[in-house]
Amino acid sequence: MSEAIRRLRHPLDPKDAEAIAALLRSSFDTPEQAWDAVAVSDLARDGALVVAAPSGCAVIRVALDEAELLSIAVTPEARKHGLGARLLAVAEAEARAAGAARMFLEVAESNAAARALYAHAGYSLAGRRRGYYRRDDGRREDALVLARDLGPGVTPTAPRA
């Protein structure tokens, strides 16, 4: 059964903000990758769009005709069932509705699962940020900047539920 995805509106209900923060905490390797409930609320207040399901979420920001995927998260137990692709497709649709013609994102070079998701959705390499991510052991890792056109003729490649 697929999870319903809904757009959360500003002002975020404190319970929704905490739920998003909890999803982010459960989905990332290090605490600094996730935002707390206050940061999530602040992002929404400042115009970020939040789409959420019980086991995942995506946060985007739109500026003029460009959108940036700030974060996408799916809890470990809900992975490999298409939720990430569905969240991405909904986030892209929200960005398009807000006037974006192109979506950008960053992903750690070693994050093979996320890179596969983005490649399947039609994202391609637009740049590289050398040493962008700091790992717990002190190593630095490059961030790949990926982009995809969202023009009106572009349809999401995410599986339909």
How do 140-149 and 102-108 pair as beta strands? antiparallel
Kindly indicate the confidence band of residue 137, based on its pLDDT and cuts at 50, 70 and 90.
Answer: confident
What pLDDT is stored for residue 54 in this prediction? 95
The pLDDT, as a whole number, for residue 30 is 66
How far is it, in rounded angstroms, from Cα 81 to Cα 83?
Answer: 6
d(CA 123, CA 35): 25
Q: Between 127 and 138, name the one with better pLDDT.
A: 127
The order of strands in the sheet holding 56-63 is: 6-8, 49-53, 56-63, 66-74, 102-108, 140-149, 124-134
Q: Give the active site residues.
A: 106, 118
**One-character DSSP codes across 145-158:** EEEEE--TT----S
For residue 138, the model assigns a pLDDT of 87
Q: What is the pLDDT of residues 33-66, one digit of tens each?
A: 678 999 999 999 999 999 999 999 999 999 999 9
Helix (H, G, I), strand (E, B) or coil at 121: coil
Token duo for residue 56: 């995942």
Higher per-residue pLDDT: 161 or 92: 92
Q: What is the pLDDT of residue 32?
A: 65
Cα radius of gyration (the chain)? 15
Domains of the chain with bracketed CATH: 6-149 (3.40.630.30)
Tell me if residue 122 falls in helix, strand or coil. Answer: coil
Q: Which pLDDT score, from 0 to 100, does residue 26 have?
A: 87
**Residue 161 reports pLDDT greater than 50:** no
